Structure 1
Amino acid sequence: MSHRPARSAPLHRPRRRKIAASLGVVAASLMPLAAPAIERPAGCEFAPGVEWPELRTLESELTEIDADYVRRDGERLSASGNVQLFETGRRLDADFLEYDRASGTARTEGDTRLFDGDLLLHTQGGEYRLDAETGEFRQIDFLVQSVPARGSAARGVQHTSNRHDFEDAEYTTCPVGNDAWWLRTGNLELDRESGVGVARNATIHFKGVPIAYTPYINFPLDDRRKSGFLLPSAGTSSRTGVDVSTPWYWNIAPNYDATFTPRVMSDRGVMLGTEFRYLQPRHEGIADVRYLPSDREFGDDRHYIQWDHRTRITSNLNFRLDVADASDGDYFRDFGGADRYSGSTPYLRRRADLTWNQPAYRLRTRIEDYQIIDPDLSASGEPYQRLPQVTLEAGEYLGHGLSWDLDTELVRFDLDETRSDRPVGTRVDINPEVSWRYDSGGFFFSPSAGVRHTHYDLDRRGLDTGPESISRTVPRASIDTGLIFERPIADGRRLQTLEPRIFYGYVPYRDQDNIPIFDTGEADFSFDNLFSLDRFVGADRVGDTHQVTTALTTRIFDQQTGRERLSLSAGQIHYLADREVRRAPDAPALDASTSDLALEGRVRIGDAWDGRGSILYNVDRDETTLAAVSVGYSPHDRARINVGYRQREAGARSIDQTDVSVMWPVTERIDAIGRWNYSLQEERDLELLAGLQYRSCCYGIRVVARRAYSFDETYDNSIYFQLTLDGLARFDSGVDSLLREGIAGYDARY
């Protein structure tokens, strides 16, 4: 076959598609290329040295062919030598090209590259149909920029511009030249339109060793959800033995999904967990069900159920249902926590709320019950049912510094008579307040006054012979005032404030010994309580007081950024009368003339050091009743050291603990992780945790050993393992949640 130099004149064919053949490079604008979606560590460029083909922007239905030699024979065009075929958004390079203008089919031989701005196919030839954007190729290597990912295949079929099937294929997200892991599969589908990759008859190889096989697996090509098996989690624990979970995710619809998780425990049996999530314009929720038949250790079935549902009935009316149920009190100790519940949970909360919201008020109706799961919980400690509870919170700013607030409650307290003979009854609580505030920027003055009226209708059961109808009315008044002084320091780079504050409060004494305790406890004292008249949490006790609080705060701010660098506060209450109201009627009056001295501070030194602390010091007894101090050092994202100490004198709840946690880089890719939580009071370790995490260019590994003291006075020893294959899936045994709870400031980056 003879060849001749190509001409630049456009050629036409019956389908009105334009073809331009030229010698050399035709000037054209370049199409932007997609940016990689996976953030990789430094030195992990995905495709170093790879020259991504440049694209051209052409008129619609125009095809351009550049080649050293072009020959035309009717509707057929042959090109060889540096062949480049351009259409808007894609490019085909080949050693040899035979193009049929009638059918729009391009056949290539030898080294061939097809690029669409994201996917680069490097093949040994095949056929490509320009109009349909379909084709078949052999001996393929491919790169996908948007994932990023790469792979190879013996044969490939392009069904649409964004959907490809590969046979005898390999797939990885590791950079070019890094073969840390491969997904080897008989059939691989990449659907960039739906953002899903699918592999059948697949084996995952890590460091050349097969670690998992599955007849079917799908994985993300972007951040959209999709159905399929998630990689299993594995671990071992002294409570469960070898523990393996294999979740399957079902993307039912854009607003519905479910996850089914069989959990195989060598010492317990097989548990099935099901989590269902739903989202509608007016309602949403999540249901979590876990069931273990015939626990080998426990000797009976075990289960846990939780349902959290929310409905927006109207724009102002909302309903929420939050219920939970567990088979027994040891469930969370044996199988781990569930959301807000842990191994020390004595009861589960069940509630239904109906809430009406308006700008000036909120009306809520609640029904609340509890499941007692701790058999050691005494009848006196069992919480009351609220059947129902109606609350109204209202307030409004009237202008000129004047505002009013109103808190009201109607609640019926009940208890199962077979479990307790404590009294039950109905309580009505009305708590209005009026306040005024003047604030000039450097001085503020805020008086307030209110009254609290509470009425009880009681059913006294058992041996309680007190009155069945009780009313209590208690007025109160307070004045809060303070000054703010400012001065520049450090050559004007910092601003220091000095803020003296005085708070006066008065609540007269009312005899409340005949009122039962439904839901009221004593508030923990802290710096914030210095400016509050409420010694109790709940309406069953209104603490009497006649007090003056003096406090002083100083702060240092960065003038340029406004960031607070230092805050130190100290304050104390001076009591002008004894406090006679107590939670227990037979408890003696509080006759101390002053409260504990409350100290609080926060500091930020540079961008690496931070610290905070709270101290309560009893001047009369010359002892510290509370000390909570923590210091953190974090020079960069991968490095964090936390040192903390907490001591509290609270009778049976007294604690005296140290807590040290560390995450620190050992090498550029390896971090050490550890935590030591120790009880000085009991002279025992509460938690020991040690591990390593390694981050490569396309995978991460974490191994953590943990020894934790349980509430049944035994130690639980466990090992947690996690392997993350970027862009594919994660083998996990709960490492992320464990480290987030144990190490302050920890960020699961890998």
Structure 2
Amino acid sequence: MTDASRPARAVLCPVALGVLALLAGPAWGQTVEPLTLRASPLLAEKLPSNAKPASLVLGDHISGRTDLETVIEGNAELRQPGLVARGDKLVYDQTTDVLTASGGVRLNREGDRYTATSGQIKVDAVEGFFLQPTYEFIANGAHGHADRLELLDRDRSTVFHGTYTTCQREDGASWRPDWMLRADRLELDREDGEGRAEGAVLEFKGVPILPLPSMSFPLDERRKSGWLPPTIGLDNKSGLNLAVPYYWNIAPNRDATVIPTVMVRRGVGVQGEFRYLENNYNGRANVNFMPNDRLRGGRNRWGYFVRHNGQHDTGIAAIGNIGLGLNLNRVSDNDYWRDFNRNGLALTTRLLANDGALSWGRGDFSASLRALKWQTLQDVNAPIVPPYDRLPQLAGRWGRVNDRGFDYSIDADFTRFRADRFWTNEPNADRGVLHGQLARPFTRPWGFLTPKAQLHATAYRFDGPLDDGRTSASRVLPTFSLDGGLAFERDARFFGRAFTQTLEPRLKYVYTPYRDQSLLPNYDSGAYDFNFATIWADNAFAGHDRVVDNNLITAGLTTRLLDPGTGAEAVRLAIAQRYRFSGQQVVLPGGTPTAKGWSDIMLGAGINWDPRWAFDGVVQYNPDSRQNTRTLLQARYSPGPFRTVSLAYRHQRDLNSQYVDLGWQWPLGALIGRGSDPAPRRASGGGSCQGDGRWYSVGRMNYSMQERRLVDGILGLEYDAGCWIGRVVAEKLNSSVNSSTKRVMFQIELIGLSRLGTNPLSALRNNIPRYQVLGADAPPPSRFTEYE
């Protein structure tokens, strides 16, 4: 090959060219078709495995032997699809496909970048080594330096005496990452998404904080088996808590976690969780066990919580699939809900359902078989009456919609109710229910009218006599209703904004004759809360043991402002009220009959004028006393990411309760004019924030104005430094009138490596409306992001 004194270029394998065909003009006399542009697909993120790439070399001086070797000196460069190699000198041996580089070596392979003093690599196989290298991975922004780096193949590499961090490098020789992993040996496997370190030390702010003789860590969001970082917590009951979880990635759709736990005041325990997700069913099981709890007299404490839902093929063509649902919950004792409220139970859960159901449906028919048994966790200061068990409950339904204009259905239910006679004076019973209904809706774009007839038949057989000596009872009640409404629309303009305004009046009449039901036990009926949904209900009670007597009419009026382009609701105003032509006599045990006349007035409003602001309010107003019976007002302001404030006011006069609820997430820098929205991160790591980082305040306060005390509260600080996030959160939850659980959670999240401490994210999500997790991942970057 001839030497050249000017920059040289060479193509080392044939390339088919079709340029001449594009440049050649049309022959004389031919019609010229207009030139059209066609859409081209995006550049492929993955190179075809069977493609033979062309190689292009550039440099100030090129020499060599044809088909044997090529030497490029001075601004030397070799290019292949997905790979660029640069250096002061490159020697490419075409017989072995080995590239030897020296002097200012730089390698870019599908966005991953390496620099070194010298190195050698098999180009197609991506095997080789670099001396005194630095590296940076595009997938998670991780980078570091080492004495030596070996490329084992396209996805695996080994770093010797090196460092690893995701903190974004800044200019200046004095820069040090906030956190860094130093290791004698780092194995990075991006095919499995796992890194392994031997002889490692974790440094934070330049201080070694954790020696790690051997550890593994994720390189992306894929799950992997192994020990997770220990968590440390502190609360006022169990004292210092230490847990060391082990995660087992059984399969892509199944996993398990085992968590040995030490509670300084209680002892040693273990928790376990198993999850599965199949095509037709899914579920999870949690089990907790602590032997010899020192705070409870050495008792063994345990609990299990199982959830399963899905469809299962019976293998019988006439039956097909049967649904199976399980909700099993049981604990060792009445105090479990106080002591272990985060081990599968909400703090206020004192009724634990053990519920199993089989369901089947085909066409117009459906059926279910259910068994439900309750475990009631009693408190001597606030005992509760256990609900009745259902052992079993068999239900069926047949119905059709819009069959020649009619809607009709028949529901049947048979239930055996059982309860401990210590808690109730009522006998157990078998109850059968038959409920049929027939409706003929007339619908038009401008309104609707729906006459409907219902028949509710109930029969009981009791284990013991009622107060009047009967051992059986029955009841048949019809219900007739007529429901109608209109919808008017007009173009409107308010505050310089165009809307479609609606006006929707509605009127409904319901009649159910009176039947004396005062001697019937109540197994499953309860009063509906009075709101905009239930004010239109035919029956004031849920369940089948009470059917209210009705002779009433309900009137309502709603107006909305709708965006004419999107149909989004900007404003909703509503009012509704009932009038009883005769007083209500059927009540629940201990209830008070309702007199003839007007009911309370329901007033509602919803305003979403601007996406940043939202307001909802419902007021139940008594016109006789001229006082609000119930009030619920809620407002939210969310001007941008990680900025939200919500405020709620709840007042219920009959219960003498009045609460104010405040929740927020807000950057502290924004309060003094220094805040700005963070940029998206690279997927699985690679902080984009620079400078001094951002402080955020998070919290929720539920305050009882009547009792003048904080009922529940959570208060914390979050700090986002870009490549790590710190959280400190204090939580108080009332477990009874005189006791509460308090705990403090600390966490440091090293982006792209691990989380250390107790995770407060579940508490923050559950308590703060619209809370956003700091460090949420952005979509994976393209391999062309760092294209050279």
Residue 505 of structure 1 corresponds to which residue in structure 2?
510
1:454 CA displacement? 0.7
1:192 counterpart (190, 198, 211): 190
1:379 CA displacement? 9.0
In the alignment, is the contact (CA less than 8 A) between 1:94 and 1:112 conserved in 2? yes
Q: Secondary structure at the match of 1:606?
A: coil
Q: What runs of 5+ residues in structure 2 fail to find an aligned partner?
A: 16-39, 171-175, 314-319, 670-674, 676-693, 776-788
1:665-711 CA distances to partner (integer Å, 9 max, x unpaired)?
A: 22122222233221122222113433222222222222222334331
2:327 counterpart (313, 322, 330): 322
2:64 counterpart (56, 66, 72): 72
Q: Name the stretch that deviates more: 163-172 or 736-745.
A: 736-745
1:79 CA displacement? 3.4
Q: Confirm or deny that 1:697 pairs with 2:722.
A: yes
Q: Confirm or deny that 1:523 pairs with 2:528.
A: yes
Residue 50 of structure 1 corresponds to which residue in structure 2?
none
| Amino acid in structure 2 at the alignment position of 1:370 | W
1:582 counterpart (583, 587, 604): 587
Q: Secondary structure at the match of 1:555?
A: strand
> Per the alignment, do residues 554 and 293 of structure 1 end up closer, same or farther by CA in structure 2, a change over 3 Å counting?
same
> Per the alignment, do residues 193 and 330 of structure 1 end up closer, same or farther by CA in structure 2, a change over 3 Å counting?
same
1:360 CA displacement? 2.7
Q: Following superposition of structure 1 onto structure 2, how do residues 590-605 of structure 1 map, counting pairs within 5 Å?
A: 590-605=594-609
Q: Confirm or deny that 1:662 pairs with 2:664.
A: yes
1:280-333 CA distances to partner (integer Å, 9 max, x unpaired)?
A: 334432111122222222232222211112342136421122211112232232
In the alignment, is the contact (CA less than 8 A) between 1:701 and 1:724 conserved in 2? yes
> Per the alignment, do residues 509 and 337 of structure 1 end up closer, same or farther by CA in structure 2, a change over 3 Å counting?
farther
1:105 CA displacement? 2.4
Q: Name the stretch that deviates more: 367-376 or 70-79.
A: 70-79
In the alignment, is the contact (CA less than 8 A) between 2:11 and 2:55 conserved in 1? no
> Per the alignment, do residues 580 and 222 of structure 1 end up closer, same or farther by CA in structure 2, a change over 3 Å counting?
same
In the alignment, is the contact (CA less than 8 A) between 1:347 and 1:374 conserved in 2? no
RMSD: 3.0
1:77 CA displacement? 4.2
Q: Secondary structure at the match of 1:176?
A: coil
Q: Confirm or deny that 1:144 pairs with 2:148.
A: no
Q: Distance in 2 between matches of 1:211 and 1:329?
A: 42
Q: Distance in 2 between matches of 1:377 and 1:459?
A: 32
Q: Secondary structure at the match of 2:296?
A: coil
Q: Distance in 2 between matches of 1:567 and 1:10?
A: 70
1:390 counterpart (380, 388, 394): 394
Q: Confirm or deny that 1:481 pairs with 2:506.
A: no
> Per the alignment, do residues 30 and 402 of structure 1 end up closer, same or farther by CA in structure 2, a change over 3 Å counting?
closer
1:378 CA displacement? 9.0
Q: Distance in 1 between matches of 2:388 and 2:507?
A: 39
Q: Confirm or deny that 1:551 pairs with 2:576.
A: no
Percent of residue pairs identical: 32
TM-score (norm 2): 0.84
Residue 303 of structure 2 corresponds to which residue in structure 1?
304
Q: Secondary structure at the match of 2:533?
A: helix
Q: Secondary structure at the match of 2:295?
A: coil
1:142 CA displacement? 0.5
Q: Confirm or deny that 1:707 pairs with 2:732.
A: yes
Q: Secondary structure at the match of 1:344?
A: coil
1:135 CA displacement? 0.8
Q: What runs of 5+ residues in structure 1 fail to find an aligned partner?
A: 12-16, 20-28, 36-54
Residue 25 of structure 1 corresponds to which residue in structure 2?
none
In the alignment, is the contact (CA less than 8 A) between 1:240 and 1:335 conserved in 2? no
Q: Distance in 1 between matches of 2:146 and 2:381?
A: 64
2:475 counterpart (439, 462, 472): 472
Q: Distance in 2 between matches of 1:31 and 1:525?
A: 57
Q: Name the stretch that deviates more: 427-436 or 131-140.
A: 131-140
1:535 counterpart (529, 536, 540): 540
Q: Confirm or deny that 1:437 pairs with 2:436.
A: no
> Per the alignment, do residues 609 and 10 of structure 1 end up closer, same or farther by CA in structure 2, a change over 3 Å counting?
closer
Q: Distance in 1 between matches of 2:757 and 2:569?
A: 39
1:349 CA displacement? 0.5
1:680 counterpart (679, 700, 705): 705
> Per the alignment, do residues 661 and 255 of structure 1 end up closer, same or farther by CA in structure 2, a change over 3 Å counting?
closer
| Amino acid in structure 1 at the alignment position of 2:473 | I
Higher relative contact order (CA 8 A, sep 6+): 2
1:382 CA displacement? 1.2
Q: Confirm or deny that 1:96 pairs with 2:89.
A: yes
Q: Distance in 2 between matches of 1:408 and 1:747?
A: 46
Q: Distance in 2 between matches of 1:307 and 1:458?
A: 33
1:200 CA displacement? 2.9
Length, aligned pairs only: 711
Q: Name the stretch that deviates more: 78-87 or 319-328.
A: 78-87
Q: Confirm or deny that 1:281 pairs with 2:271.
A: no
In the alignment, is the contact (CA less than 8 A) between 2:9 and 2:57 conserved in 1? no
Q: Confirm or deny that 1:638 pairs with 2:642.
A: yes
Q: Following superposition of structure 1 onto structure 2, how do residues 202-241 of structure 1 map, counting pairs within 5 Å?
A: 202-241=200-239
In the alignment, is the contact (CA less than 8 A) between 1:30 and 1:57 conserved in 2? no
1:246-267 CA distances to partner (integer Å, 9 max, x unpaired)?
A: 3222111112211122233222
Q: Distance in 2 between matches of 1:573 and 1:525?
A: 11
Residue 266 of structure 1 corresponds to which residue in structure 2?
264
Q: Distance in 1 between matches of 2:146 and 2:132?
A: 6
1:168 counterpart (138, 151, 161): 161
> Per the alignment, do residues 77 and 484 of structure 1 end up closer, same or farther by CA in structure 2, a change over 3 Å counting?
closer
In the alignment, is the contact (CA less than 8 A) between 1:56 and 1:89 conserved in 2? no
1:189-246 CA distances to partner (integer Å, 9 max, x unpaired)?
A: 2222222222233332222223334334333333322222333333321122222333
> Per the alignment, do residues 642 and 30 of structure 1 end up closer, same or farther by CA in structure 2, a change over 3 Å counting?
closer
> Per the alignment, do residues 420 and 215 of structure 1 end up closer, same or farther by CA in structure 2, a change over 3 Å counting?
farther
> Per the alignment, do residues 398 and 139 of structure 1 end up closer, same or farther by CA in structure 2, a change over 3 Å counting?
same
Q: Name the stretch that deviates more: 55-64 or 472-481.
A: 55-64
Q: Distance in 1 between matches of 2:291 and 2:708?
A: 39
Q: Distance in 2 between matches of 1:535 and 1:563?
A: 32
| Amino acid in structure 2 at the alignment position of 1:68 | D
In the alignment, is the contact (CA less than 8 A) between 1:333 and 1:342 conserved in 2? no
Residue 689 of structure 2 corresponds to which residue in structure 1?
none
In the alignment, is the contact (CA less than 8 A) between 1:268 and 1:295 conserved in 2? yes
Q: Confirm or deny that 1:494 pairs with 2:494.
A: no
